[in-house]
């Protein structure tokens, strides 16, 4: 289950545990072998080999979380709760690299606020936390630490809406008690790194189930597992918790990233309330309960993260030879993107943002556009360039990236006198193309680029419009996709998919006739071999 969650949502999911990384490019070093200077430094990795394990923006996991956010926001609007940005403008992700003048845009249909009740938006923060945890663990495994995943109830069972607000506060008081209990270990040490409280909703009896997902770090003594269990037994007994609901599992280095993403996953409670169509519970939860903090970073991990923030560091992938990568802390990179020289002084040609990860295709760059909204009040402005995503593995085992654009309107793209947003997108896409050719050693081919995910893209487009996101293609992309799909059709005109039905009676009769003729020929051959050519059937 945890591995599936990670595959759907991690996006940049080449594993930190892949061994043998050699010669990673240091930050601030030469951008490519040719010495090309990248404005968007993270794009220098586009086209490098990287194992794809899910999380692509067209993946069903992406659709799932987009649908959840749309359902919550739509239900909120119908019941007096607005979770949309005041400045308007939806956010689009434009795939890169593509040929000049082409585009493939994936966009939410609503302009969401940065609100943790919207799962696809909440993934911004949860993914960052999961990556920080993974970086921390990667270092500590090498120093001999062990890690554990602990799941335990926060209270004596389910509770109703009236008790939920107080239950959240009581849960974190119990967490403090747990910290004190675990500190009494006689053999070695036990440290709580991260705790997240979840409150899933059950429609039938209108109750919530508060429970914790906790990540522990311990010393390496052989008896440490027994020590933890003994301390947990005493803790559960003291609070009258059901022992059968307590689960402690060791976490290997290979599985840690999946566990981190599972323990930090976005809350689905607001979506569950909207799906149940319980407006009173929905309004109370959004306006009151959900405003409480549901997570805690603690112990060594809290100190690690604080130090990284002070030093201007963030989790990042460092790519070596082949498809090998390592997740580690890297210096944050800010860039100043200057637009065309002939833009007026009050244009948006200069935008300074920090590159962010394109995790799961779920709006992981929404905050950039939120920040843009705060400083730019021109609501109707089209094609506002917000930045580029950190390259992530895609089908075909290569890294690709996305430009993040607010109010994407391809009808206003033009060859001359380009607006600043189009200029910036064209420049970023050009850098992605350069990196792709440098890292693959081949001239870029649109057909080869699309082939690994052509069927998924075609299937998504054939599914028709959905209310929560749209895909927009340029003419060149449509033609290339149609050519790929035409080439993949069966060559034999007599071949028929077993699932398909004859189109009409004439076609059905024609197929049966051909099959009957083939059968008669086969029977005649068998007869001649048995009785000779002069014997009649």
Q: Between residues 64 and 204, which one has the greater pLDDT? A: 204
CA-to-CA dists, residue 259 to 3, 87, 114, 133, 215, angstroms: 8, 37, 25, 10, 9
Residue 511: pLDDT band with limits 50, 70, 90: low
Q: Say if residue 337's pLDDT is above 80.
A: no
Neighbouring C-alpha atoms within 13 Å toward the C-beta of 247 = 8
CB neighbour list of residue 135: distance below 8 Å, 6 or more residues apart: 315, 327, 328, 329
Confidence tier at 231 by pLDDT (50, 70, 90): very high
pLDDT over 60 (residue 464): yes
Q: What is the pLDDT of residue 113?
A: 92
What mean pLDDT is predicted for residues 346-362? 33
What band does 35 get if pLDDT is binned at 50, 70 and 90? low
* Alpha-carbon separation of residue 334 from 21, 45, 197, 371, 413 (angstroms): 26, 17, 34, 14, 27
What span, in angstroms and rounded, lies between the C-alpha atoms of 249 and 236?
17
Q: State mean pLDDT over 209-233.
A: 96
Mean pLDDT of the chain: 81
With 50 as the cut, is the pLDDT of residue 292 above it?
yes
User: Can you tell me the mean pLDDT for 455-470?
Assistant: 83
Higher pLDDT, 355 or 251: 251
| Domain coordinates in residue numbering, the chain | 35-60+84-115+381-488, 119-297
Query: What is the model's pLDDT at position 174?
Result: 96
375 pLDDT more than 70: no
More confident: 66 or 179: 179
Name, of 150-154, 348-352, 410-414, the range with top average pLDDT. 150-154
**DSSP tag of 243:** G
Least confident of 157-161, 221-225, 306-310, 488-492: 488-492
Distance separating alpha carbons of residues 118 and 339, to the nearest angstrom: 33
pLDDT at position 460: 84
Phi/psi at 92 (5° precision)? -115, 150
Q: What is the pLDDT of residue 32?
A: 43
What confidence category does residue 534 fall into, taking pLDDT thresholds of 50, 70 and 90?
low
Mean pLDDT throughout 520-536? 63
- pLDDT score at 64: 85
Please indicate whether residue 6 or residue 153 has the higher confidence score (pLDDT).
153
Q: How confident is the model at residue 411 (pLDDT cuts 50, 70, 90)?
A: confident
Q: Residue 56: which pLDDT band, with cuts at 50, 70 and 90? A: low
Of the listed ranges 79-88, 155-164, 355-364, 476-485, the least confidently predicted one is 355-364
Q: Which of 43-52, 81-90, 102-111 has the lowest mean pLDDT?
A: 81-90
Q: What percent of the chain has pLDDT over 90?
A: 57
pLDDT higher than threshold 80 for residue 233: yes
Q: What is the structure's pLDDT at 37?
A: 84
Q: What is the pLDDT of residue 53?
A: 77
Average pLDDT on 152-156 reads 89
Least confident of 142-151, 288-297, 313-322, 465-474: 313-322
- Segments in 52-97 forming alpha helices (H): 60-77
* pLDDT above 70 as % of the chain: 73
Nearest C-alpha neighbor of 49 from the set 376, 388, 379, 323: 323
Task: Tell me what pLDDT residue 339 has.
Answer: 42
Is the per-residue pLDDT at 266 higher than 50? yes
- Residue, of 288 and 341, whose pLDDT is higher: 288
Categorize the per-residue pLDDT at 374 as very low, low, confident or very high, splitting at 50, 70 and 90. very low
- SS3 labels along 374-387: HHCCCCCCCCEEEE
Rounded to an integer, the average pLDDT of 271-276 is: 98
- The pLDDT value recorded for residue 323 is 61
What's the whole-number mean pLDDT along residues 72-82?
96
**For the domain 119-297, what is the CATH code?**
3.30.70.260
Mean pLDDT of 287-302: 96
Q: Which of 26-40, 118-132, 506-520 has the highest mean pLDDT?
A: 118-132
Distance CA 260, CA 2 (A): 9
């Amino acid at each position: 289950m945890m591995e599936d969650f990670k595959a759907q949502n991690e996006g940049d999911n080449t594993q930190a545990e892949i061994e043998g990384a050699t010669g990673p490019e240091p930050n601030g070093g030469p951008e490519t072998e040719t010495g090309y200077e990248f404005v968007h430094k993270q794009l220098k990795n586009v086209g490098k080999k990287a194992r794809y394990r899910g999380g692509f923006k067209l993946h069903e996991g992406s659709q799932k979380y987009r649908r959840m956010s749309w359902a919550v926001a739509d239900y909120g609007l119908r019941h007096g709760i607005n979770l949309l940005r005041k400045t308007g403008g939806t956010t689009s992700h434009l795939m890169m690299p593509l040929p000049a003048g082409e585009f493939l845009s994936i966009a939410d249909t609503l302009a969401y606020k940065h609100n943790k009740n919207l799962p696809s938006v909440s993934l911004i923060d949860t993914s960052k936390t999961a990556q920080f945890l993974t970086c921390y663990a990667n270092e500590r495994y090498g120093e001999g630490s062990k890690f554990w995943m602990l799941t335990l109830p926060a209270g004596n069972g389910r509770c109703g809406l009236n008790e939920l607000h107080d239950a959240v506060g009581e849960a974190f008081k119990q967490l403090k008690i747990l910290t004190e209990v675990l500190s009494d270990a006689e053999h070695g040490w036990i440290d709580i790194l991260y705790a997240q409280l979840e409150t899933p909703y059950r429609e039938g009896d209108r109750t919530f189930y508060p429970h914790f997902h906790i990540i522990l770090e311990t010393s390496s003594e052989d008896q440490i597992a027994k020590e933890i269990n003994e301390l947990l037994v005493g803790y559960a007994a003291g609070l009258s918790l059901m022992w059968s609901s307590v689960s402690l599992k060791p976490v290997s280095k290979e599985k840690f990233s999946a566990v981190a993403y599972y323990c930090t996953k976005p809350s689905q409670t607001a979506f569950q309330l909207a799906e149940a169509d319980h407006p009173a519970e929905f309004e109370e939860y959004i306006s009151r309960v959900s405003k409480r903090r549901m997570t805690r970073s603690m112990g060594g991990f809290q100190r690690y993260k604080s130090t990284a923030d002070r030093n201007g560091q963030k989790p990042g992938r460092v790519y070596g030879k082949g498809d090998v990568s390592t997740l580690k802390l890297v210096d944050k990179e800010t860039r100043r993107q200057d637009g065309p020289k002939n833009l007026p002084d009050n244009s948006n040609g200069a935008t300074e943002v920090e590159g962010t990860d394109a995790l799961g295709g779920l709006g992981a760059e929404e905050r950039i556009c939120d920040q843009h909204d705060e400083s730019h009040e021109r609501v109707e402005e089209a094609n506002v360039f917000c930045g580029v995503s950190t390259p992530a593995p895609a089908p075909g085992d290569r890294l690709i990236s996305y430009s993040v654009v607010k109010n994407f309107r391809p009808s206003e793209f033009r060859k001359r006198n380009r607006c600043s947003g189009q200029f910036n997108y064209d420049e970023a896409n050009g850098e992605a193309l350069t990196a792709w050719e440098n890292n693959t050693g081949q001239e870029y081919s649109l057909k080869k680029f699309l082939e690994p995910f052509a069927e998924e893209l075609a299937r998504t487009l054939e599914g028709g419009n959905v209310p929560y996101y749209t895909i927009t293609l340029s003419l060149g992309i449509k033609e290339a996709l149609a050519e790929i799909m035409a080439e993949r059709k069966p060559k034999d005109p007599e071949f028929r998919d077993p699932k398909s039905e004859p189109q009409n009676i004439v076609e059905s009769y024609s197929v049966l006739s051909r099959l009957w003729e083939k059968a008669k020929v086969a029977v005649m051959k068998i007869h001649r071999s048995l009785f000779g050519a002069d014997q009649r059937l």
